[in-house]
Amino acid sequence: MMLTDSYGRSLNYARIALTDKCNLRCAYCMPETGLNWIKNHQLFSTTEILQLLDLLHLAGIKKIRFTGGEPTLRNDFQEICDYAFSLNFDQIAITTNGTYSADLGSWLQTKPWHSINFSLDALNPKLFEAISKRKNFPLVQFNLNELLKTTISTKINCVLIDGVNDESLYDMVDFVKSNAAQIRFIEEMPFNGKAYRHAEKWSALRIQNELKRILPDLVTEPFLPNATAQIYSSQSLKGNIGVIAAYTRSFCGTCNRLRITPEGFVKTCLYAPPSLNLKQLIREKRNNSEIIHLLQAACLNKPMDGFAAESMHASDNFQSMATVGG
């Protein structure tokens, strides 16, 4: 079984938002006061998440990524991950803000993750606090350093915001001069739970030009199928750098992703409105083959690209990244 869309693209990657809740308040994601959090009974239960994983595996999904909100805030996070690994997906990854406990960090290191991505927009403690409105930097720094001691592929997702963390571009470049991580600079997107704001100064093109200015030997690596990041390397870097054109959307043509929101809705594109509610189908005791058939039908409505998806709903329908599936 393989899910496909009407443009002939195979959809084999699912991003599963385990919760909308987060213990940080990054300005580009949500208001400082937080969100109207989804009630627990509206989220997948543990049993329902495990059935969802079974369904995705049967539907031909090869790669999954657990996102949020902050996925490690769920009490059943380890149980969910253990079950996912038992299904033998080709790749299992997680995106986290890095505020998890040292005990959970030790457990994470025992699992064969394809990658662990840290959402981290500043390496300066004061700037981190200004962006996140929390004083968690020492814990995040400790967890990142511990992860870098392992062989797990470690990536840092950094959203550059004009006039807020411009210095992070230079700090992050310095970081990968001595650390075997991948820094991924991401254009700011309009999913901040308030006003419609997107990449203004730090577009992907501007980021790329600035990287080439400060790293004269920068090499543009081949753009891989289904990738979101354009990767760059340099002899002066122990790691490498990626640039994700999340707002200008230059990578849509080979998109192979589905998103599952915390409430169970399928989003066939980050910019598209939610469609099929998998959680509801599971609660209705539909059988697996029927749900997969409905999921395939939803995939056929996947828009050609993010611009077509954005035109499908009102531009003033502001959402938070925590509620749209990571």
Q: Could you report the per-residue pLDDT of 128-137, keeping only the tens digit for each? A: 999 999 999 9
Per-residue confidence (pLDDT) for residue 324, from 0 to 100 = 66
- Judge whether 18 and 49 are in contact, CB under 8 Å: yes
Per-residue confidence (pLDDT) for residue 36, from 0 to 100 = 86
Per-residue confidence (pLDDT) for residue 196, from 0 to 100 = 47
> What pTM value is reported for the model?
0.92
Per-residue confidence (pLDDT) for residue 245, from 0 to 100 = 86
Per-residue confidence (pLDDT) for residue 306, from 0 to 100 = 76
Q: 120: Cβ–Cβ under 8 A, 6 or more apart, which residues?
A: 97, 98, 128, 140, 144, 156, 157, 158
Q: How many CB atoms lie within 10 A of CB 61?
A: 24
Q: 111: Cβ–Cβ under 8 A, 6 or more apart, which residues?
A: 81, 85, 92
- CATH number, domain 3-323, options 1.10.3720.10, 3.40.50.720, 3.30.720.210, 3.20.20.70: 3.20.20.70
d(CA 274, CA 86): 29
d(CA 221, CA 114): 20
Per-residue confidence (pLDDT) for residue 176, from 0 to 100 = 98
d(CA 120, CA 96): 9
Packing angle, helices 125-132 and 137-148, rounded to 10: 110
Per-residue confidence (pLDDT) for residue 316, from 0 to 100 = 46
d(CA 20, CA 43): 9
In the sheet that holds 63-67, the strands lie side by side as 219-220, 229-233, 240-244, 182-186, 154-159, 115-119, 91-96, 63-67, 13-17, 257-260, 266-267
Taking Cα atoms as reference points, which of 32, 70, 29 lies closest to residue 246?
Answer: 29
Give the chain's residues under pLDDT 50.
196, 316-317
In this structure, the dihedral spanned by the alpha carbons of residues 118, 95, 98 and 249, taken in order and rounded to 10 degrees, is: 40
Per-residue confidence (pLDDT) for residue 200, from 0 to 100 = 67
